């Protein structure tokens, strides 16, 4: 049990269930959920928090499996006070809690192309941390800088070099909380950008289970092979295809299923536990390895603790 928490102006909630804050709707409670009022509140809290207490920043939980035993320590979730969006020339600065979709729409209205963020359901903090991308564009292509509060409560500005972006990855240290990011966006015609976003939304709905409880792609697309002359980080091989080829489209375990519409979307069909989802994911990894020799890597972040009963095979 955590006591002696520093005083805050925002909200501290003990033993807060997290399932409802994630897209997959699974997982146990956080020891403490902190929703800071503003950046000063966050800085003051982290500066005074016992350094031994783990801190986990979450966005809107669209890329997370929170395990059934919940998360020990303090989970930080940014809300109002961190979702402003400002445009200055070709620069867009957005609070980490702003949704990528809102940033894309506001940018497009001002003739700036961040349209790839329109169909990714996460926050700006999550998008930068994950180097989110689709339709050939990634955060790394447009990233300028991010303001981050370190685990010991210092406000720092990070460049792309500091974050060392790679496919669906960056190197933000554990416990550091991003509060704002700035992007340099290519120019575009607002009407055309709006049409592009409509097209992308339609394409998503046609090919992906956008209304189901998922966390998007479960596994990263496997890297290509250098024997083809291509660099190892091209992802022409699709995770959904290798899962399909292993005969696992629609495979299920408990309430978890590899979605029949898109087999790389692990889905909570209604009553899945985090353990069901993780076990099915691991089973898929094992079977894909047996059938193709490929080792799938989780794209969904799995955090927190298992419960003894649900961890049993």
Residue 104 Cβ, how far from ligand FAD at the closest point, in Å?
12
| Minimum CB distance to ligand FAD smaller for 23 or for 45 | 23
Residue 8 gets the label, from left (phi > 0), alpha (psi -120 to 50) or beta, of beta
Sign of the Cα pseudo-torsion (124, 141, 64, 263, in order): positive
Q: Exactly one of 62, 273, 285, 299 is catalytic; which is it?
A: 299
Residue 76 Cβ, how far from ligand FAD at the closest point, in Å?
8
| Minimum CB distance to ligand FAD smaller for 10 or for 133 | 133
3-state secondary structure of 292: helix
DSSP H/E element including 145: strand 143-149
How big, in percent rounded to 5, are the helix, strand and coil portions of the chain?
30, 25, 45
CA atoms within 13 A on the CB side of 46: 25
Q: 145: closest CA among 114, 179, 118, 115? A: 179
| Minimum CB distance to ligand FAD smaller for 110 or for 134 | 134
Residue 100 tokens, joined: 């990528």
Number of residues that bind ligand FAD (CB under 6 A): 32
Sign of the Cα pseudo-torsion (294, 295, 300, 305, in order): positive
**Cα distance between residue 276 and residue 68, in whole Å:** 10
Q: Exactly one of 62, 145, 170, 217 is catalytic; which is it?
A: 217
Contact call for residue 35 and ligand FAD (CB under 6 A)? no
249 belongs to the catalytic site: no
| Minimum CB distance to ligand FAD smaller for 267 or for 273 | 267
Which residue among 107, 125, 263, 304 contacts ligand FAD (CB under 6 A)? Answer: 125
Residue 247 Cβ, how far from ligand FAD at the closest point, in Å?
24
Residue 294 Cβ, how far from ligand FAD at the closest point, in Å?
20
**Cα distance between residue 120 and residue 313, in whole Å:** 34
Q: Exactly one of 77, 105, 129, 168 is catalytic; which is it?
A: 168
Residue 271 Cβ, how far from ligand FAD at the closest point, in Å?
19
| Minimum CB distance to ligand FAD smaller for 169 or for 291 | 169
217 belongs to the catalytic site: yes
DSSP 60: S
User: What residues between 58 and 117 interact with ligand FAD by CB under 6 A?
Assistant: 58-64, 78, 96
Residue 171 tokens, joined: 């190197």
Residues serving a catalytic function are 168, 217, 299
Which residues contact ligand FAD by CB under 6 A? 23, 56-64, 78, 96, 120-123, 125-127, 129-130, 132-134, 172, 177-178, 210, 214-216, 301
């Amino acid at each position: 049990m955590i006591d002696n928490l520093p005083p805050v102006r925002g909200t501290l909630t003990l033993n807060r269930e997290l399932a409802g804050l994630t897209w997959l709707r699974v997982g146990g409670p956080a020891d403490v959920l902190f929703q800071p009022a503003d950046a000063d509140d966050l800085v003051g809290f982290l500066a005074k928090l016992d350094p031994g207490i783990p801190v986990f920043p979450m966005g809107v939980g669209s890329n997370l499996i929170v395990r059934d035993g919940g998360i020990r320590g303090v989970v930080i979730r940014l809300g109002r006070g961190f979702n402003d969006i400002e445009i200055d020339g070709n620069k867009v600065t957005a609070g980490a809690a702003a949704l990528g979709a809102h940033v894309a729409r506001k940018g497009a209205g001002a003739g700036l192309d961040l349209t790839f963020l329109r169909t990714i359901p996460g926050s700006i903090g999550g998008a930068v941390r994950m180097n989110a991308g689709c339709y050939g564009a990634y955060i790394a292509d447009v990233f300028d800088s991010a303001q981050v509060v370190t685990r010991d409560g210092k406000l720092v500005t990070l460049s792309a070099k500091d974050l060392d972006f790679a496919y669906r990855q960056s190197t933000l240290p554990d416990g550091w909380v991003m509060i704002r990011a700035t992007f340099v966006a290519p120019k575009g015609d607002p009407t055309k950008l709006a049409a592009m976003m409509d097209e992308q939304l339609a394409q998503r709905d046609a090919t992906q289970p956008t209304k189901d409880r998922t966390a998007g792609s479960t596994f990263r697309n496997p890297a290509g092979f250098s024997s083809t002359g291509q660099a190892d980080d091209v992802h022409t091989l699709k995770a959904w295809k290798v899962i399909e080829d292993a005969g696992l489209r629609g495979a299920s375990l408990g309430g978890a299923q590899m979605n029949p519409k898109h087999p790389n979307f692990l889905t909570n069909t209604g009553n899945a536990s985090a353990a069901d989802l993780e076990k099915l994911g691991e089973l898929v990894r094992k079977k894909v390895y047996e059938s193709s020799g490929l080792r799938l890597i989780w794209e969904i972040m799995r955090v927190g603790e298992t419960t003894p009963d649900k961890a049993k095979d």
